[in-house]
Structure 1
C-alpha cells in the first residue's frame, strides 16, 4: 500500500460534554470513516451492540438515531469510543484510534494528526495504553496495515519542539477516570521486578537486530501494554521514572519494528508516544535517540528537511547529557539528512564530526545506555557510506561521491560479516550494507560485482523479517536488471530473487 504523507495542522474537535449538545458541530472525522466503511447506520449500531455484549457492557443499546447523533457531534460515553475504534480498525486493517474518530476519551483530546499530544504523564500513559491495545487487537486478527496519512512538515516538527519545554506544574500523579477517581492501586514494584522489566527491553532489541521487525513486534507491543498497566498503579517517584523509561524504550522499539515492516504512520505514532514517555522519565539522551529514529524515518520517506529539524532538536536537547557514542550517531544522521538535501559541504562536515565524536567513545561502553550500544564502528562506517552514496545519487550518480562511499562501505561490510558469525550478530544491518555495497557497484558501473554482493544478501534477506531489506533488495535488483540485464550474472540474480520472493517480477530488459 502506498504511503500518503499529508501535512496537517492543529485540528479542533467538537466542544461540549459527553452526550451534551452545547456548541455541537458535525463530527467530520467520524463521518469520513463512516462513509468509507460502506456501513449503514443500522449496521454500525448492530455491530456496536454485539461488541458491547462481548465486553460484558450489557447496558449499551444503540440504534440508528443514536448513530446519527454521534455523526452530528454528540460525544458518546465509554465504552462506545473504544468499541468504535476497534470496529473501524478491523474494517480498514489499520489502527484507528479514538482521537482519529473525533471522539474524546477521558483525557483531553489530541489533535486529529495524532502527533500534537498533551505533554503530561497521565495522558501519555492513557494514550500508550489505548494505542498498544488497539494494535494488539489488530495483530490478533491478522491485520498488518498502514494508516492513510502521517504527519510531516511543521505539523510534525513544531509539536516535537515542546519536548524541551518545562513540564506544566500541578499535574495529577496518576491517570484519571471520567469521574475523577484514581485508577487501581497495586503493590509497588520491587527492585528485582523493575530490573527484570528493564532486561526485557534489552532482550527485545537484540531480537530485532538479529531477526528484523516482523518476528517479535507483537511481543514488544504486548510488553508495552503491560508496562502501561503498571504505570496506572500507585508507584513511588523513582520507580515511576524507571517505568516511564522502560515504556519509552519499548514504544521506540515498537515504532522501529513498525517502520522496519512498512507500517509508517503506526511507527510515527509510537515514536511520538515514546518521546512523551522519555520526557516523563527525565531522560534527554533517550529522547534524542527517539528523535533520531524519527529522523531516519523521514529520510526513508523523502523528507530530509524534516529529518534535519528533528536531528538538530535532538542535538540541542541532549548536548550536555549524551555520551560520545550518542553524539557520534546524531552527527552521522545529520550527515544523512544533508546528503539527501544535496548539501555536500555540510555533509562532509557532519561526517568528520561523527568520526571525531566516535574516537572519544569508551570501547567498553562504560556510561553508554544499552539502546546506543548498537552504534559500533561498523554502524559508523555504514552511516557515512550511505551518506556519500546518497549524495552521489542526488548529484546525478556522481563518481566523486561514489568513490568516497566505497571505502566506508567496504569497511562496514567487513565488520558486519565478522559480527554475523556470532549468534547475536546484527544480521539485518549486514544485509542492508551488502545491498548498499551492491548499489555502490552500480554507481561504478560494475554489474558483475553488484550481482555477486547482492547474491550474498539473498539468504540474509530470507532470514530476517524486514520489509525494508526486501524493498531495498528488490529496488537494487530492478535497477541492475534494467541497466545490465544482458549480463549473465545480473540475469541470474533476477531469477534467484524471483524464486525467493514469489511476488517479485523483474523489470523487462
Structure 2
C-alpha cells in the first residue's frame, strides 16, 4: 500500500521543519498517532483507499516533507474542524493543489446550459472519481468576499428565452434538431416524489447512507436537462435539479466533506435561479450560512442570510421566513451581538406563528416546532459560549432546548436532529455545571448515533465528551463516557 497517497513532493534534502504545521499541531492537542488515525479515517470517507498514514509519516511532515494530495486537503479540513475556522492549506505551510480553471471554485457563470453542464460533470466526477479520493482533493473552501460576492449575482434577473409558436420559451441552446422532448406529467411527478423520499432517508439515516444515490439521481436529471423542453417543463426540471443538488450538498456537509458540500450548494443556487424559484434559492443560501457558522465564519453566514432574506422577501412562506430569521439569530449569537440575536429569535417565533405547513414546499418541511426551538436554543447556547460560558444565557437555552428534545423524541423521521439536540442539551448542562445530566444526554445521543451515519453527529458527541472529561473527569458518570465511546462509537481503525 502506498504511504499517504504517494511519494513526497520534491526531494528530502535541505528540508526545514514546517513551523506553521508544527504550530497548528501543538495547539490541536493531538498526538502524532491520533492525527494519523484522523487522516486515514477522512481519506476513507473520501474513498482514497490507497492512503495509509502512521506516526513516522506525520513526523516527516512536521520535519518539512511535503505530502501529495489528498493529504494537504485532508489536513486543512481536519484543522478547520478542530479550531472552528477555515485553515487554508497555505497556512499549514503546505503546497496547495493547482486550480486549473475558475469552474473549480464558486465564481461560476450564471447561465442555464453552463449550469447543467457543470452539475452533470461534477456529479459524474463525484460518482466515478470521488471513491478514489480525487474529487475532494481538487476542491477548496471559499469564504469571505470570494464566496459572498459571486452569490450576490443570484439577484440579477435572468434573460428570458425566445417563445416558440405555442408560446413556450425554448431553452437558450436547444438540441440540433430543435424538437422539444415531452416528459409526461407522471414522469415529472415521479422525479419530484423521489427527491422527497431521499430527503426522508437523510433525516432518518444521516448523509452517509444514501448520498451516492442522490448524486446519481442528480446526474440523471441533468442528462434530461440537456434535451430541449418547453419552458414549463424545463423550470420543473431545474427545480428538481436544485433540490437534489442542495440535498447532495447537505449530505456531504453531514459526513464532513466540506468543500464538496459547498460546491453542491453553489450549483444548487444556480439551478434555483434557472427555475426562477427565489424561496428555494433562499433555502440553499441558508444551508451555506449554516456551513459558515460550523466553520466559525459568522460574518459570512450573516451576509448569506441577509442575501437570502432580501432575495425572497416577497415570495417566501412564513415557515421559510421563520427559518431564515432563526439562522440570522445563530449568526448574530456567534458574533456576540446580543440585542440583534434576541430580535431575530422573536422574529422567527412571530413568523412561525403564521405558518401554514400544508402550503409549504417539501424542502422546508423539516422546519417544524421542534426545529424552531432547537435553533433558538442553540442561539442562546452559542451566546453563552461567546460571553465566556455565561450562566444567564445557558439558563435561557435550557428550557427551549429541553422542549426541542421532547418534541424530537416523538419524531420517528428526524432522528439525526434528535441526536444533535441531545448533544446540544448535554452542552447546556455542562454550561450549568451539571455533569451527570450531561453524561446522560450524551449516552442517549450515542445510542442514536449508532443507527445514523452522520459524521457531524459523531464529531459533536466526541467534542462534548472531550469537554465533559476535561472539566468533570472525576465524576464517575463522565469518566464512563470514554469507555462507552470506545465500545459503541469507535474511531475508524487504521488500515493495514
TM-score normalized by the length of structure 1: 0.75
How much does 1:393 deviate? 0.2
Taking the TM superposition and a 5 Å limit, the aligned residue runs for 1:355-434 are: 355-362=349-356, 365-420=357-412, 425-434=413-422
Q: Does 1:159 align with 2:147?
A: no
- Structure number with greater Rg is 1
Deviation at 1:167, TM superposition (A): 1.5
Q: Distance in 1 between matches of 2:112 and 2:328?
A: 30
Q: What per-residue deviation string (whole Å, max 9, x for no partner) do you get for residues 136-155 of structure 1?
A: 01345477846562110001
Q: How far 1:367 sits from its partner (Å)?
A: 1.5
What are the residue-to-residue correspondences of 1:194-233 with 2, within 5 Å?
Answer: 194-233=188-227
Q: 1:471 to 1:147 in 2, by over 3 A?
A: farther
Q: After superposition, where does 1:437-452 map in structure 2 within 5 Å?
A: 437-452=425-440
2:484 to 496, 502, 505: 496
**Which residues of 2 match residues 101-180 of structure 1 at below 5 A?**
111=102, 114-141=105-132, 145=136, 149-168=140-159, 174=171
CA distance in 1, matches of 2:472, 2:142: 39
Report the equivalent of 1:13: none
Q: How many residues align?
A: 405
Question: Per-residue deviation at 1:235?
Answer: 1.2
Q: Deviations for 1:414-443, whole angstroms, at most 9, x for unmatched residues?
A: 0000113xxxx2000000000000000000
Distance 1:396 1:183 in 2: 66
Q: How far apart are the structure 2 equivalents of 1:189 and 1:385? A: 45
> Is residue 267 of structure 2 the alignment partner of residue 254 of structure 1?
no
In 1, Cα distance between equivalents of 2:268 and 2:380: 31
**Residues 122 and 173, structure 1, Cα contact 8 Å, conserved in 2:** no
Three-state SS of the structure 2 residue aligned to 1:167 is coil
**Alignment partner, residue 7 of structure 1:** none
Q: What CA deviation, in whole Å up to 9, does each residue of 1:359-418 have, x standing for no partner?
A: 0112xx222000001100000000000000001000000000000000100000000001
The Cα RMSD (Å) is: 2.9
Of residues 436, 439, 449, the one that matches 1:461 is 449
CA separation in 1, counterparts of 2:361 and 2:175? 37
Q: 2:337 aligns with which of 337, 343, 346?
A: 343
Is the 1:378–1:413 Cα contact (8 Å) retained in structure 2? yes
From the superposition, tell whether residues 482 and 147 of structure 1 become closer, same or farther in structure 2 (CA, over 3 Å).
farther
Change (3 A) 1:164 1:444: same
| In structure 2, distance between residues paired with 1:37 and 1:247 | 39
Distance across 1 between alignment mates of 2:286 and 2:249: 12
Instruction: Give the one of 272, 276, 283 matched to 1:282.
Output: 276
Change (3 A) 1:207 1:37: farther
1:271 matched to 2:259: no
Per-residue deviation at 1:234?
Answer: 1.6
Contact 2:69 2:137 in 1 (8 A): no
SS in 2 for 1:463: coil
Structure 2 unaligned blocks of 5 or more: 1-5, 11-47, 52-67, 74-96, 163-168
Inter-partner Cα distance in structure 2 for 1:474 and 1:504: 13
Larger deviation, residues 366-375 vs 295-304: 366-375
1: CA distance, partners of 2:359 / 2:176: 38
Compute the TM-score of the two structures, normalised by the length of structure 2. Answer: 0.77
Q: Is contact 1:174–1:182 with CA below 8 Å preserved after alignment?
A: no
The alpha-carbon distance between structure 1 residues 501 and 259, as it changes in their structure 2 partners (threshold 3 A), is same
Question: After the TM superposition, which residues 285-304 of structure 1 pair with which residues of structure 2 at under 5 Å, given as runs?
Answer: 285-304=279-298
> Given that residues 119 and 219 in structure 2 are in contact (C-alpha distance below 8 angstroms), is that contact kept between their aligned partners in structure 1?
yes
User: CA offsets per residue over residues 52-94 of structure 1, 9 Å max, x none?
Assistant: xxxxxxxxxxxxxxxxxxxxxxxxxxxxxxxxxxx9x999459
Question: 1:320 pairs with 314, 317, 320, which one?
Answer: 314
Distance 2:175 2:186 in 1: 30
State the distance in 2 between where 1:382 and 1:102 align.
39
- Indicate the SS of the match to 2:389: coil
Map of 2:3 onto structure 1? none
> Residues 238-259 of structure 1: CA distance to partner in whole angstroms, max 9, x if unpaired?
0000000000000000000000
> Structure 1 248/37 Cα, relative in aligned 2: closer, same or farther at 3 Å?
farther
- Residues 476 and 111 of structure 1: CA distance in aligned 2, closer, same or farther (over 3 Å): same
Q: CA contact under 8 A between 1:256 and 1:267: conserved in structure 2?
A: yes
Question: The residue matched to 1:503 in structure 2 has which SS?
Answer: coil
Matches of 1:271 and 1:37, distance apart in 2:
32
Distance in 2 (alpha carbons) for counterparts of 1:217 and 1:185: 34
Mapped to 1, the partners of 2:7 and 2:282 lie a distance apart of 40
**Do the aligned residues in 1 keep the contact of 2:123 with 2:216 (CA within 8 Å)?**
yes
* Aligned equivalents of 2:145, 2:133: Cα separation in 1: 34
Residue of structure 2 in register with 1:243 after alignment: 237
1:19 aligns to what? none
Greater relative contact order (Cα 8 A, min sep 6): structure 1 or 2? 2
> Offset of 1:494 from its aligned partner?
1.6
Q: Distance in 2 between matches of 1:416 and 1:144?
A: 35
Deviation for aligned residue 1:502:
2.8
Q: 1:65 aligns to what?
A: none
- The 8 Å contact of residues 171 and 229 in structure 2, kept in 1 or not, is answered as no
Q: Distance in 1 between matches of 2:233 and 2:306?
A: 31
Counterpart in 2 of 1:310? 304
